[in-house]
Structure formats: C-alpha cells, structure tokens
Structure 1
Amino acid sequence: MAFADNRLWGKLRSKVGVRFTRFVVVAAVSLTVTEIALTLCNGVFHMTSTPAALVSWFCGAVVSYVLSRWAWERKGKPDVLRETVPFWVISAVVIVILTLAVKFAYHSATWLGLTGVKHVLWVDFIWLLANCFTFLLRFLIFHYVLFAERTTAARAAATGPDTVPPGT
C-alpha cells in the first residue's frame, strides 16, 4: 500500500499533478460562484432558463479566467491571442453545453412536477452534472493546448521523436 501511496503522491507533486490540483481549486470556486448565481437567478429572481444560465456562466467564467492564470502559473499581462481569446472561445462552447443543460433541467423539473425549492435544487443538480463534464473537457484543453509548455513543444519538434538504439 505504501508503494501505491508513494506513486500517487509523486504524481500529485508532478507539474501536471500540481496544475490539476490547482485547477480543481479553480473549478470548485468557479462552480460555487455559478451555483450561487444560478440559485439566485432561478429561485429569487425567477429568470427563465437562458438568462439564468448566461448570468451564472458569466459569473463563474470571470472567476475561472482570473484563477486559471494562477493555476498555470501565468504572471504579468496576459497574451491576448494565446490565452485570453482561446479561453473565451472555450468558455463559449461551455456556455452552449450549460445552457442546454439548464433548459433540460427547467423542462424536466416541469415534467416531474417539481416546484419551489425542489425545482431550484433539481436545476442546480443538473447544472452540477454538466459542470463536472465541462471540467474535464476544460482541463484537457487548458493543459494540453491553451497553457501547454511552449518550450517543451518546441524542443520536441526540433529534436524529433525519441530514437530507440538498434538491437533493442
């Protein structure tokens, strides 16, 4: 068991592990903000599904953008073409997924006869499930595309694939 613990600890301490852990923190904070916003939009302000999804997504996206720079150890002025624009393009795809999920949640709550608090909790639950899906999608895109190490990619391109010595 100690061997497995050491391997897990080693992976968590790797660059990918640290970034993944930081991204989990970013996602948790962003999800909390979006859930609060969605609950207010749905339960207090009685917004329809699309405006509620847009407001909730925007609140979380702003938090996610600021904290994602910390997660990938970006400092200084953001590179608009390599960071900011792709982040918001990815976020636009996420809002499509989340808006569809909220529309489904609103409609399914009606089909199930849910009202009041039950309706709000059902919509929040579907939002949570959709966010779990987009979390994994965003991490993969952010890590391997958006915030990928430029020097590592350039070095790999310059040196070519690893060569295997003859006779091995």
Structure 2
Amino acid sequence: MASGRRPRLLVRLFRAATSSALATGISQVSLIGLLWWGATPMVASAVAFVAGAIPNYFLARRWAWGRRGTPTVTGELLPYLLVIGLAGLASVGLTTLAGRLTEPLDLSGFVRIVVLDAVFLTGYAIVFVMKFALLDRLVFHREERTRGSKSPT
C-alpha cells in the first residue's frame, strides 16, 4: 500500500473481518458473562455489542481503512454511529426475539445461553457484509475526511 492511500478492497474486507472477529470475541465474553449472571437477553446483547463496537472502531478505522488523524464528527463519526447503531439494533433485536421465543421452552441456563449466543453470532454474521459495504462506501470512502492527516501525494 502506498503511503497516504487506503488499502485495496479485498485487503480492507479481510482486515475489517479480522477486526470484527476480535470485536465479536470481546462481545462474546461480555454476552456470555452477562447472561450467566442473569442479565436479560436485551441488556446482555446491547452491552456486549457496545463492548465490541468501541475497540472495533479504532482498529478498523486505522488498520482496515488506513485512516489517520482526527475524525470529523459529521463526516465520519455520525455516519459510523448510524451504521453501527443499525447493526447493533439488528443483533440486539434478534437476540431479544430469541430470548422471548425460548422462554416458554424452559431451557436450562447453559442451553439457553448457547441458543442466545448462536442467535447473537448469526446476527453479527448477517449484518457484517452490509455493515462493511456501508462503512466502505459511506463512512470511510474519502481520504480527506480527517483533520490532521497528511494529504496523498
């Protein structure tokens, strides 16, 4: 990759998937721990999503999209929060729905956690491709969106 340029599409996709996998791992630990301690599926999945989304922003922004400098609020942060928020709502919604659907089945604690975790992961997988496309095309599509970054030569 030339200095000052963002990586090619397949490199961005691989790096975004890798940073997303790391974020998913953080989210998984949070989700399973919170469910184990008795949190509702909605609370557990919402906290787990945020726990993964914060480090994912910094890692993906720099590594996957090659962004440097201070992000602009309207050019990068707000669109990022919108895209991630929609992805989070999808994951939290699916996990909450699964929690409500499994409640009458009277599943044991461990089995219920496995089912809810599988739904949470499925939600992540479903929205990843759409999230990547939106981040790539709407949020991180131009290099001049950050303050303090060097201009491409």
| TM surpasses 0.5 | yes
Match of 1:110 among 84, 103, 110: 103
- Report the counterpart of residue 81 of structure 2 in structure 1: 88
Cα contact 2:32–2:113 (8 A) shared by 1: yes
Distance 1:116 1:29 in 2: 26
Amino acid of the residue matched to residue 141 of structure 1? L
Q: Which structure has more RCO (C-alpha within 8 Å, separation ≥ 6)?
A: 2
Match of 2:60 among 68, 80, 96: 68
Summarize deviations over 1:7-64 as a string: whole Å, max 9, x none.
Answer: xxxxxxx700110110011110011111111101111x21112211221111011011
Q: CA deviation at 1:111?
A: 3.7
Secondary structure of residue in 1 paired with 2:39: coil
Q: Does 1:53 align with 2:28?
A: no
Identical aligned pairs, as a percentage?
22
Structure 1: 5+ residue stretches without partners: 1-13, 152-168
TM-score under structure 1 length normalisation: 0.76
Q: Does 1:123 align with 2:134?
A: no
Amino acid of the residue matched to residue 52 of structure 2? G
Distance 1:47 1:67 in 2: 28
Distance 1:111 1:131 in 2: 25
TM-score under structure 2 length normalisation: 0.83
Structure 2: 5+ residue stretches without partners: 1-6, 145-153
Amino acid of the residue matched to residue 65 of structure 1? Y
Say how many residue pairs are matched: 137
Distance 1:24 1:47 in 2: 28
Structure of larger gyration radius: 1
Distance 1:127 1:97 in 2: 9
Normalized per residue, which structure has more helix?
A: 1
Secondary structure of residue in 2 paired with 1:106: helix
Q: CA deviation at 1:94?
A: 1.6
Distance 2:61 2:78 in 1: 13
Q: CA deviation at 1:150?
A: 5.7
Q: CA deviation at 1:122?
A: 0.6
